[in-house]
Amino acid sequence: MPKSILSTRSSVESLQSNATTHTVPDTLAPAVTGPMVWEGDELDPAKYIIHLHPSEIQNIRAAVIYFKLTGLPRSAISKTTFPLDDGLASKLSAISAELHDGRGISVLRGLDDARFNDEEAVIAFAGICSYVAALRATDSYANQTLSHVRDATHDTVPHWAKDIGLAGSKITSAMDFHSDRFSGDILALHVRDDGGVDCGGEQYFTSFWKIYNELLETDPQVLETMAEPNWPFELKQKDRDPYLELGPTLFFSPRRSGVDSSSKPICQLVKAPLLGSPRIQRDPRMPDLTVQQLHALAAVEALAKRFATKLQRRKGDVQFVNNLSILHARSAYGSATERSSRHLLRMFLRDPALAWDKPASCKTNFDDPFTPGREQHIPILDLDPWRRISGRESHG
């Protein structure tokens, strides 16, 4: 196993980017307020669902045709190459403000009426996203920008992949609450197929800010544990042994002077690289979680379930979620005998105008998916669900 890459940053530096000491903070930031602190039915579907009018759907169809006629690669999709009317452009741009300063969740509804084929759906999804947030995340593992969330458990496994395992986005088991670590500020999902009625795969969301406030009052040691830079993340590598990266699961956006003077909690908690998953086992050479870390996982999961809401979902929806402050989970779906038709397109985004500042200790990790000039792979079909393109297991 190669030499481990260990974090030398303290939890103070993770919480406060201008810290100069290397001790655990005596106090955490005060309770947060605002519309992003919600629970259950307080997240009203009538407020987070945005409906597309027929004329707006036709405008999107026209933009798809316009882009196809340019002959450009899909990596060139932008507001320039995917032109929309000013009214619709403003409507989509306003979603970013809701994600950063509002409830943290928005759902665009009505795109299914466009009846796009697979290629058109990918173009439309990327084009719409370019108005919400200009930057698309691309991992350094396989230059993957758009991924397909689907049931690949019935795919024929090629010989080279027999010992590799499927990524979390390709399996049908339930997923606990998590945020996708260092993947991007905004999680965007386009529901191509919801799998049908009573077929599982329900989506649940919960406000980490609500969880933070509750823990601050009832069990602040959990937050201290999350802020410690000693969580043992196993990071997979292509054709090489995995390696160990130590880091926190709780960060704070540095305080700004002026209007936005608050310090925002940022949660990057994902269990797969800490505990392994049913199809991708954790390397036995990796260290176990401490008793305190296991308690923190259990405490966050319990509160996440307590404060969660089930997302109202329809085929064609485009979902936008703040991946820094909102945790997501899903129920199991599909069956052992038949492939599920459930299919979502996924991208991670950043709006450079409204993006939260990141702590200096891990700013490189947060910024890496948005490295300028990196080749973007935006596939129409998912032809390789195995670990060759699954990144470093930062999801699920």
State pLDDT tens for residues 175-205: 999 999 999 999 999 999 999 888 899 999 9
**Does 20 fall in a domain?**
no
Q: What is the model's pLDDT at position 384?
A: 72
Tokens at 10, concatenated: 């303290």
Q: What is the model's pLDDT at position 1?
A: 43
| Least confident window among 11-25, 147-161, 264-278, 355-369 | 11-25
**Does 386 fall in a domain?**
no
pLDDT in tens, 83-130: 999 999 999 999 999 999 999 999 999 999 999 999 999 999 999 999
**Does 264 fall in a domain?**
yes
**Long-range contacts of 279-283, Cβ-Cβ distance < 8 Å, separation of 24 or more:** 279/165, 279/166, 279/171, 280/165, 280/166, 280/167, 280/168, 280/236, 280/387, 280/393, 281/165, 282/234, 283/1, 283/234, 283/241, 283/242
CA 209 to centroid of chain Cα atoms: 16
**Does 191 fall in a domain?**
yes
Q: What is the model's pLDDT at position 157?
A: 82
Q: Which burial class, exposed, middle or buried, applies to 239 when counting CB atoms under 10 A from its CB (0-12, 13-18, 19+)?
A: exposed
Is the predicted pLDDT of residue 4 greater than 70, yes or no? no
Q: E strands within 123-174?
A: 135-136, 147-150
Nearest to 133 by CA among 363, 321, 377, 381: 321
Is the predicted pLDDT of residue 244 greater than 80, yes or no? yes
**Does 308 fall in a domain?**
yes
pLDDT in tens, 198-233: 889 999 999 999 999 999 999 999 999 999 999 999
- Here the CATH number for the domain that contains residue 227 is 3.60.130.10
The total domain count for the chain is: 1
Q: What is the model's pLDDT at position 276?
A: 87
What Rg value do the Cα atoms of the chain yield, rounded?
20
Nearest to 209 by CA among 349, 115, 105, 345: 105
Q: Place 17 in a pLDDT band, splitting at 50, 70 and 90.
A: very low
**Does 300 fall in a domain?**
yes
Q: What is the mean pLDDT of the chain?
A: 88
pLDDT in tens, 343-377: 999 999 999 999 999 999 899 999 999 999 999 99
The whole-number average pLDDT for the span 392-396 is: 58
Q: Which burial class, exposed, middle or buried, applies to 195 when counting CB atoms under 10 A from its CB (0-12, 13-18, 19+)?
A: buried
State the residue range of the domain holding 133: 11-15+34-155+164-370
**Does 394 fall in a domain?**
no
The CA-atom distances, in angstroms, between 191 and each of 91, 103, 106, 205, 302 are: 20, 21, 14, 16, 28
Q: How many residues does the chain have?
A: 396
**Does 330 fall in a domain?**
yes
CA distance 138 to 347: 9
Instruction: Name every residue whose Cβ is closer than 8 Å to that of residue 233 and which is 6 or more positions away in sequence.
Output: 181, 244, 245, 246, 247, 273, 274
Q: What is the model's pLDDT at position 393?
A: 53
372 or 17: which carries more pLDDT confidence?
A: 372
**Long-range contacts of 300-304, Cβ-Cβ distance < 8 Å, separation of 24 or more:** 300/177, 300/211, 300/215, 300/222, 300/226, 300/269, 300/327, 301/176, 301/177, 303/206, 303/210, 303/211, 303/214, 303/215, 304/176, 304/177, 304/206, 304/211, 304/329
| Largest CA-CA distance found in the chain, in angstroms, rounded | 60
The CA-atom distances, in angstroms, between 380 and each of 37, 136, 148, 305, 371 are: 37, 16, 9, 34, 23
CA distance 279 to 74: 32
